Structure 1
C-alpha cells in the first residue's frame, strides 16, 4: 500500500496543495476551520510530512555544522550534547568536524561544511581568525554562532560563560566559610578566561579587605605545574583554600596535598595546626567525577551554552546575539 502524499491530503480536504503546505508550515492566512479540516484529513490518511523535502523546497538543508578543536574535550563535548539535544527534536543532523584551529585548518573545515550545504555553523573558537570565517559565511548567507569559555569578539553572535561571576561566587563561598588565605592555580597567562576569573577573584578579595597575593597565583606555563603547586604548599602551609582553573590544576593540587599529608574535604577551616585543603574547581563535572565527593566545582553550564547556540541558529536571524550564561556552584 502506497503512502499518502500531500496531493492526497489536498484532494480529500478539497483545497489546493499550496493551502496544505501553508497550513503545515504555519505560514499564510489560512482560517482555523481550514487548518482543522486539513489536520483531520492528515489523521485519517496517516500522512507523514517529509520535513527534509520541505526544507529543500525552501532552500534549506537539514544539516548543522559544528567545528571544535578536540571532541574529547569535556567542555566542548558537553556543548555538543546541548546542541544535539535541541536540533534532534527539529529533525536536523549534526555534521561534526575537528580542527587544529590554524587558519588553514579552519578554512578547510568551513569550506567542507559549505560544500555540504549546511543551514548554519557553530564554531568552538573565539580567536582573531573568527572574522575571516564570518566573512566567508556571510558571503554564503550561512548563520555563524561562536561557543567558547570566553570571548572578546564583537559583531559576531556568541554564547559564552560568565567567568568573572564564577570566580566571584567561588571566592565568596570560601570567605563565607572562614577562609582568608586563598590561592588560584592553573591557566596560562595569555588566557582571557583566566584573566576574567582572576578579575572576579581579586574583586571579592578587595571587597572583604583581603590582599591579592601574587605568590599565591600559580599559572600553568611549565610542565612542572605539580612541582610549582607542591612548592606553594610547602612554603605557604597557611593557604588552605584553592580555586583550580582546570583539570590539570585540580589533579596537581590533589597529588601535592597527598604528598604533604594534607587532607581534602569540604568541612571548612578546621585548624591552623591541621589545615584541611578545600578545592573549588572550574573543571567540568565529567572531568572531576572520580573526586566529586572531595571537591566542589563551578558549573559553567556548557550544555546550556550548546542549547542557546542551537536556539540562536533556529531563529535564522543575521542580527548579532551575544548571550552570557551565568554559572552556578555545585557544593554537594
Structure 2
C-alpha cells in the first residue's frame, strides 16, 4: 500500500504543499476554511505527520527532557504530571530521565537527551538539604528550567515554592483563631524547607507580639514514628500547646498518635484544652481522607508544573529571554483539624 504523502494531502485539499505544511506546523495566517479542508483531507487519506523528520529538516524539536530524581516525592510527581499535560497541550512531548545520582547517571541522562535531540530541559530538584544544583545541570548547554521546593542560590530559570509565606499563612491563621502556644514538628535540622518555614513562623509570631521558642520546634526523621515520639515528648513538657504546624504528611499522621498518647484529641476548638489543632503543608490524597480532615497550605504543585512548562516554551521561542525566578504561594484550605 502506497504511503500517503503531504503532496497527496495538498492535492486532496486543493491547496499548495506549503499551505499543508503551514497547517501542520500551526504557523502562518491560514483561514479557518482552509485549515478545515486540509484537516478533512488528512482524515480522509489517513496521513500521519512525521514530526521527528519535520523537526530534523527545520533544525527544531518538540521534545523536552524532564529529569525526575525521586519518584517517592509526591510534590515532584504532581509537578511532573502537570508539566506533561501542559506541554502536550502546546504540541510538545516529554522525554523522561531518572538518574540515580548526581554524577555518572546524570551525565548519561543528559547525553541521552542530547542524542534524542531534546530542545530544552526541566530539572525537578528533590534534594532538600542543598541550595545548589549538581555541576552537570549547572553546565547544561540546553535551555534549562529548574523546579525546586525551596529557594536555591543559583542564577537560573527557577520555579519554586514560597515556604516562608506558607508557614506565615498557617501561623497567622492559627493566631486569628485564638492560639497563643504554637509549635512546629518535623524535618531534619539541615532541611532547607524546614529552615525557610521556621523563618516565616518566627516572623509571624513576632509581628503578633508572641515569643519564638526553639524547644517548640523539634526536628526529627521524616517518618510517622519519629514524629509521634517528638509530639508526645513536646506535649508532655508543655501541655499549654494548642496547635502544631506539621512539616510533612508523615509528620501529620505521627502527630495524631503522639497527641492521643498524652490523652488529647485533634480539633479546632482552642477553648477545649484537650484539643490540639493541626495544620500541614501538603494537599495529598491520603491526608485528605483522614478523619478529621486536615487543614493545610496547598503546595501549588499543579500551578508549578504549568509555570515550568510555560517558562521552558518561552525560553525556546525567545532565546535571549532574561533569567526568570517565579515564586508560588500556597493557599490555606481550612478543614476539621484546625
Same fold (TM over 0.5): yes
1:157 is aligned to 2:151:
no
Q: How do 1:43-192 residues align onto structure 2 when only pairs under 5 Å count?
A: 43-46=39-42, 50=49, 52=51, 53-125=53-125, 127-135=131-139, 137-138=140-141, 142-192=142-192
The Cα shift of 1:24 comes to: 4.5
Q: Residue 178 of structure 1 contacts residue 268 of structure 1 at CA under 8 Å; is this kept in 2?
A: no
Note the residue ranges of structure 1 that are not aligned, 5 or more in a row.
none
Q: Residue 249 of structure 2 contacts residue 284 of structure 2 at CA under 8 Å; is this kept in 1?
A: no
Report what 1:325 is aligned to: 328
User: Bigger shift: 247-256 or 175-184?
Assistant: 247-256
User: Bigger shift: 87-96 or 6-15?
Assistant: 6-15
The Cα shift of 1:234 comes to: 0.5
How far apart are the structure 2 equivalents of 1:222 and 1:83? 27
Q: Residue 106 of structure 2 contacts residue 136 of structure 2 at CA under 8 Å; is this kept in 1?
A: no
SS of 2:65 mapped into structure 1: strand
1:271 is aligned to 2:272:
yes
How far apart are the structure 1 equivalents of 2:289 and 2:218? 24
Q: Residue 70 of structure 1 contacts residue 99 of structure 1 at CA under 8 Å; is this kept in 2?
A: no
The Cα shift of 1:72 comes to: 2.6
Question: Over the residues paired in the alignment, what is the CA RMSD in angstroms?
Answer: 2.6
The Cα shift of 1:26 comes to: 4.9
The Cα shift of 1:6 comes to: 2.7
Q: How do 1:240-255 residues align onto structure 2 when only pairs under 5 Å count?
A: 240-255=242-257
The Cα shift of 1:65 comes to: 2.0
The Cα shift of 1:227 comes to: 2.3
Q: Residue 4 of structure 1 contacts residue 45 of structure 1 at CA under 8 Å; is this kept in 2?
A: no
Note the residue ranges of structure 2 that are not aligned, 5 or more in a row.
none
Q: Residue 166 of structure 1 contacts residue 326 of structure 1 at CA under 8 Å; is this kept in 2?
A: yes
SS of 2:296 mapped into structure 1: strand
Q: Residue 12 of structure 2 contacts residue 41 of structure 2 at CA under 8 Å; is this kept in 1?
A: no
Instruction: Give the TM-score normalised by structure 1.
Output: 0.86
1:303 is aligned to 2:302:
yes
